[in-house]
Structure 1
Amino acid sequence: MSPDPRPSNPQPTPAVLILGGTTEGYALAEALAERADLRVVSSLAGRTDQPRLPPGEHRIGGFGGVPGLIDYLRTQRLDAVIDATHPFASAMGWNAAAACEALGLPLLRLERPAWQPQPGDDWWQVDDWPGAVAALRHSGARRVLLAVGRQELAPFADLDAIHFLIRAVSPPRPLPAFQDARLLLARGPFSLGDERALLRDERIDTLVCKNSGGEATAAKLAAARELGVRVIMRRRPQRPPSPRATDVSAALAWLDNCL
């Protein structure tokens, strides 16, 4: 009888978890979609209605803190984690670092570079939203484009001497009780011409936003520079120390090296 050529203990397919929801997370999942030698799972926070689903396996919603993430990584037999969450999703970043340390799993932070002020910019950089509120009061702003996300509007609602144009992807639930505000639902990317027209037509004197980086929403900064619009920019929160990549190709090289 000839021997059975199959291995007695076949090795499981290596598996990676992408903490995604960003342009970089989708691009990484797409780059790995044809890899038969790798199982890819993308996790989305589920904070937007009808999110675009990346290729491969996916899950939507929170994990239940560090214990829940540890349990998920263990039960799903994941071998590596790539944190490609939004630059301001700092809680998830710290949870991922703690869970990967507990299980001895490799962790990579895939993060787009931050925006940097250019000649002609009038940036007021702050560390948090109370700092942004104080900057609005001090600057004498009167017409403000508020582009901070639908979940972070409340700190600005008490500024009753300002007209706010609130831009969000989905409607806030609920919308805080602003004295003078209008909601504009729109999803980027936005062109420079459209951003220039918006700032000019709405007579915006101040833009409030986060330093998210990337190209999809960068045109508003160029338009603000051209029109002399003040920018109150929230700096990125601190992240745990870990290996970092600024593009998908570097993340792929890291993944091939650690699996």
Structure 2
Amino acid sequence: MVVEFKNEPGYDFSVQENVDMFKKALKDVEKELGQDIPLVINGEKIFKDDKIKSINPADTSQVIANASKATKQDVEDAFKAANEAYKSWKTWSANDRAELMLRVSAIIRRRKAEIAAIMVYEAGKPWDEAVGDAAEGIDFIEYYARSMMDLAQGKPVLDREGEHNKYFYKSIGTGVTIPPWNFPFAIMAGTTLAPVVAGNTVLLKPAEDTPYIAYKLMEILEEAGLPKGVVNFVPGDPKEIGDYLVDHKDTHFVTFTGSRATGTRIYERSAVVQEGQNFLKRVYR
């Protein structure tokens, strides 16, 4: 039985025990900084020579991570993986997908201090805001999982004598998630996993400034048992792969949070039907 939804609490830093706990989390995270992180395509970790350097905005001498930079060919490989994974992922029951997402949120809850500490370093967030970002990510996942369970029951449509009608939502395919740097966990996790719990597959292109925290989500998804190829991690230069992701004939939807200029550009480019595309793309902003 799924427990009632409750907002994930933060930490009360007027309590010394919480201060000490978070200081330890910061020290533990700092030991892991500066490592190379890979692309993740069909569950395979792919290290590239070309890197995106993530820097602590509060101390620009501190390298947070060196993220492998995806090329157009890497993106093409990720689409193939996502399309193949979609064939089986869409057949999972809504409850099974939701239960997996609840496992994801449970892992994040257990690692909340670590997730928040990473954002202190990578996004320059104050302690309270970093913890709030992590907690909001948990809330998004918990909410979307419960919503999917509810939607799976069907929604009533106009009945008539001797007839009872409902409508049901179906997944639509592979999409692209382009989250911002300023809520690098909550919005990134929410806009990635809302489509996933609905039965879709995703290519996640994290913000250039915050790839490390997005990679941590990939680790958590693997730990929770998400099948390979359902979420593919493709950090990269938006000038090189941004339009390619949006324009691609297999992109069924784009979830984006960012500037008005970029958002309207995505709307414009998504409206163009590409050769081999037999559907209209959707943009969620």
TM over 0.5: no
* Alignment TM-score, normalising by the size of structure 2: 0.31
* Alignment TM-score, normalising by the size of structure 1: 0.33
Higher helix share: 2
Work out which of the two has the higher radius of gyration on C-alpha atoms and give 1 or 2.
1
